[in-house]
A = this chain, B = another copy of it.
Amino acid sequence: MRKKDVPSLVKDPHLIDMRRAQIVKAAVQLFNEKGYHKATTRAVAEASGFSIGTLYEYIGSKEDILYLVCDSVYDEVISRWEELLDEKLTGRERLSQVIEAYFRVVNDLQDEVLVMYQESKSLSEEALRYVLEKELRMKRMFEQELTRAKKEGLVTLTEGEMSLAAHQILVAGHMWTFRRWAIQRDYSIEEYITYQLRQLFTGFGMKEISSS
């Protein structure tokens, strides 16, 4: 899966990075406020601090802005997440920490994650595939951790449920953003983490049933 390339008329790579960072930052805010479709390229340019002409020196089309946002959000989430991880941990501590760290990053990058979550569907087939691939990469990371936990006898998930369980964790993170209208009014991120860890690990606390 090759990175889709976003055309630029400007040659200086450093400048490109800088300007695109400005663009992404402005776009995240605007897309959050008004949504991708209602945010005009002109408004993005303005919010980025330059003219519409300059904006188009760094992108090829409006969709490229959305792509840059999604792409950079993933990179940012993953890199921040990895920073928080402690490779030496094992067992329950390790799994807890992996999940907790992820939740904390999602909380820190709430606006970014929400935009990516709600607007990525407006990407073109090709760009969407690339973005979803990144999502799957994250899923696989959780899957690995779950597999490791299973080896350690920590969890009782079957092989076939691993994938679903990994999705479950990811969605639990996103849920903090896309349900914030309901959840964040009543819970802090700390409470949310505590709850989700317990929920994910032991569910509603019901006793397992042998058959079923």
Cross-chain contact A201 with B204 (CB below 8 angstroms): yes
Given the known interface contacts A203-B199, A206-B201, the answer about A171 and B164 at a Cβ–Cβ threshold of 8 Å is no
B160, B171, B181, B183: the one within 8 Å of A179 (CB) = B171
**Contact across chains for B183 and A167 when beta carbons are under 8 A apart:** yes
Majority SS at the chain A contact face: helix
Q: How far is the CA of A1 from the CA of B132 in the complex (A)?
A: 38
Q: A160-B191, A164-B187 are in contact. List 20 more A-B contacts (CB 8 A).
A: A37-B122, A92-B209, A136-B182, A155-B206, A156-B204, A156-B206, A161-B195, A164-B186, A164-B199, A167-B182, A167-B183, A168-B172, A168-B175, A171-B171, A171-B179, A200-B203, A200-B204, A201-B203, A202-B207, A203-B203
Task: Give me 27 A-to-B residue pairs in the complex whose CB atoms sit less than 8 angstroms apart, sorted by A's number.
Answer: A132-B181, A132-B182, A136-B182, A155-B204, A155-B205, A155-B206, A156-B204, A156-B205, A160-B191, A161-B195, A164-B192, A164-B199, A167-B182, A167-B183, A168-B172, A168-B199, A198-B203, A198-B212, A200-B203, A201-B204, A201-B206, A202-B202, A202-B203, A202-B204, A202-B205, A202-B206, A202-B208
